[in-house]
Structure 1
Amino acid sequence: MRVFITGASGWIGSAVVPELIGAGHQVIGLARSDAAATALTRAGAEVRRGTLDDLDVLRGAAAESDGVIHLAFKHDLAFSGGFENAAEADRRAIDAFGEALAGSDRPLLVASGTLGLAPGRLATEQDGRAGDPDGAHRSGGPARRLANAQATVALAGRGIRSCVVRLPPTVHGDGDHGFLATVVAVAREKGVSGYIGDGANRWPAVHRSDAARLFRLALQGAPAGSTVHAVADEGVPIRTVAEVIGRHLDLPVASVSPDSAAGHFGWLAPFLGMDGPASSAHTRELLGWQPTGPGLIDDLEKGGYFTAASA
């Protein structure tokens, strides 16, 4: 297949690209910078220059492809308080892909997230879909991104093999600069490895290589209108994460009160305090996906997150 990928040079995309090429697919990656274009070329992918705001570029690339994987999201806007604008740009891109692929039965995979789906209980692939009884209780950024995912699923009614791939907050591995690396950086800066409250809240996680393989499997075989979870660890207590970090950095491990969390963790606080375990049982049965990479704690114990290069 000839596959167009947004976010192809990002953390997830840079693992998805070789996964697809290794399986015999051709990849065309969206690149908004010279550095991204160079990285894609070195990985063996073709380059299409543009950004998420270049809707004509997105439509054209999708129309010329056998399938689309939409990974890009304006995280810089989201983390600086502009989640609404980031979600709106995401929706415009999804709509553009829908226009280009309508009636083709070609696959469209859109990345979304598991966090906030079902606070306090194990989230499944059925949560967050249209008709979800808990949907009315969601608001703000998570609600906007869920609405985009629901719009993606609905494209199945327009003759598109649409699929939402939900990622946990921690997609870990060598070179990670995301949530987990930020937690480590905060511990270094504050001189204490902290967790919020009693630290019993749980985060799901997946190794980057396993996430990339799920995107390939979904591209090749996920049915129209499906939702899958790239979840290996269903829920790792944040206190356990803090304890491993504290031991490796030789720092004390301590609770941070919810009232002090924003001052201690900054933009990360609302996410770090969430309890969001998630299941991938349906995904494994549907696509035969079985994670083989290290779990979150095993990956932390390897020490890569604590080297000078990761600091």
Structure 2
Amino acid sequence: MRVFITGASGWIGSAVVPELLDAGHQVIGLARSDASADALTSAGAEVRRGTIDDLGVLRDAAAEADGVIHLAFKHDIAFTGDFQGAATADRAAIEAFGEALAGSGKPFLIASGVLGLAPGRVATEEDGQASDGEAPFEGAGARLANAQLTVALAGRGIRSSVVRLPPTVHGDGDKGFMATLVAVARDKGAAGYVGDGANRWPATHRADVARLFRLALEHAPAGSTLHAVAEEGVPLREVAEVFGRHLGLPAVSVPPEDAAEHFGWLGGPVGLDSPASSALTRESLGWEPAHPGLLDDLGKGHYFAAPAE
């Protein structure tokens, strides 16, 4: 297939691109900068210049491709407090792809998340299909609505799928939640966890996530929701204890009422108990994660290299 990918040079996309190329697919990646374009060219992909705000570019690229994987998300503004704005831009892109792909039967995949889907119990692929309930943190409801929109595109003749990611897709080079929490620990002089730290986050190695995206592109049924979850739930206290050992800092409990002050914008998510299963995904696509779990990956030490001066 000729596959158009947004976010192709990002953390997930830069693993998905070689996964697809190695499987014999052609890749056209959206690039908003010269650096992104150079990275895609070096990886063996073609380049389409633009951003996810360039809706005409998205429509044209989708129409010319055999499938689309939408990974781009405005994390730069989401991480600084405007999650709603990032989700609104994401919805516009999804609608543009829907217009271009309607009636084609082509695969269309987006990335979403499992965090906060079913707090306190193990979430499954069947959760979050309706819009009832309160969002667990600001902006989460809007992104869930975007996933529901994508699933509904199956009714317009598109083989649409939502791949829900755990809050930590880990590996060497990760600059996401785990790297942010390491930076917070350094800044505060302690590796914190909320309350007793028994709350759990699911986790998956980046290479395993990339393989699931390929399998979904090739085989996922229309309207499917998939969980890219290798570990159902890793207790955040155990994560903080690994941080503490590598950084030479104490692992300490942060009262829930102080979480926002201690962790900043991560104060809400880091206290969630949000385990998730991928049993239905594994059964449907034969996906079996094969790379190290989160604690083993943290134990390798690459998250704790001294920051550049």
Please state which band the TM-score falls in when normalised by the shorter chain: over 0.9
- CA distance in 2: counterparts of 1:53 and 1:215, whole angstroms: 23
Report the Cα distance in structure 1 between the residues aligned to 2:32 and 2:233, rounded to whole angstroms.
35
Q: Is the deviation greater in 216-225 or in 141-150?
A: 141-150
Stretches of structure 2 that go unaligned for 5 or more consecutive residues are none
Structure 2 residue aligned with 1:291? 289
Does the alignment pair 1:52 with 2:52? yes
Structure 1 match to 2:205: 207
The amino acid that maps onto 1:126 is E
Equivalent residue letter for 1:257? P
Residues 53-92 of structure 1 show CA distances to partners (whole Å, capped at 9, x for unaligned) of 1000000000000000000011111122211111111011
Aligned position for 2:122:
122
Give the match for residue 98 of structure 1. Answer: 98
Pick aligned residue for 2:141 from 140, 143, 150: 143
Instruction: Report SS of the residue matched to 1:205.
Output: strand
**Cα displacement (A) at 1:309:** 5.6
Q: Secondary structure at the match of 1:227?
A: strand
Q: TM-score, normalised by structure 1?
A: 0.97
CA separation in 1, counterparts of 2:174 and 2:150?
Answer: 28
Alpha-carbon distance in structure 2 between the residues aligned to 1:107 and 1:23: 16
Alignment of 1:122-271 (within 5 A): 122-130=122-130, 135-138=132-135, 140-271=138-269
Task: Give me the TM-score of the superposition, normalised by structure 2.
Answer: 0.97
Residues 129, 150 of structure 1: 8 Å contact kept: yes
- Partner Cα separation in structure 2 for residue 266 and residue 310 of structure 1: 22
Query: 1:14 aligned to 2:14?
Result: yes
State the distance in 1 between where 2:72 and 2:165 align: 13
In the alignment, residue 293 of structure 1 is paired with which amino acid? H
Spell out, residue by residue over 1:139-188, the C-alpha distance to the aligned partner (whole angstroms, 9 max, x if none): 74111111100000000000000000000000000001100011111111
User: Secondary structure of 2:226's partner?
Assistant: strand
2:169 match: secondary structure? strand
Secondary structure at 1:164 match in 2: strand
Query: What is the one-letter code of the residue matched to 1:219?
Result: L
Equivalent position SS for 1:234: strand
Cα offset, 1:207, TM superposition: 0.1
By how many angstroms is 1:307 displaced?
Answer: 1.7
Asked if structure 2 preserves the Cα contact closer than 8 Å seen for 1:181 and 1:310, the reply is no
Aligned partner of residue 68 in structure 1, secondary structure: strand
Answer whether contact 1:28 1:45 (CA < 8 A) is retained. yes
The 2-side partners of 1:51 and 1:164 are apart by 21
1:86 matched to 2:86: yes
Listed one character per residue, the Cα deviations across residues 263-287 of structure 1 (whole Å, up to 9, x for unaligned) are: 2111111111111100000000000
What secondary structure does 2:268 align onto?
helix
How big is the shift at 1:137?
3.0
Are residues 109 and 260 of structure 1, via their aligned partners in 2, closer, same or farther at CA, if it must alter by over 3 Å?
Answer: same
Q: Work out which of the residue numbers 274, 278, 281 in structure 2 matches 1:276.
A: 274
CA RMSD of aligned residues (A): 1.2
CA contact (8 A) 1:196 1:257 kept: yes
Equivalence for 1:34: 34
Query: CA offsets, 1:119-146, max 9 Å, x none?
Result: 110000000113x7xx233374111111
Contact 1:19 1:216 in 2 (8 A): yes
Residues of 2 paired with 1:174 and 1:113: CA distance?
21
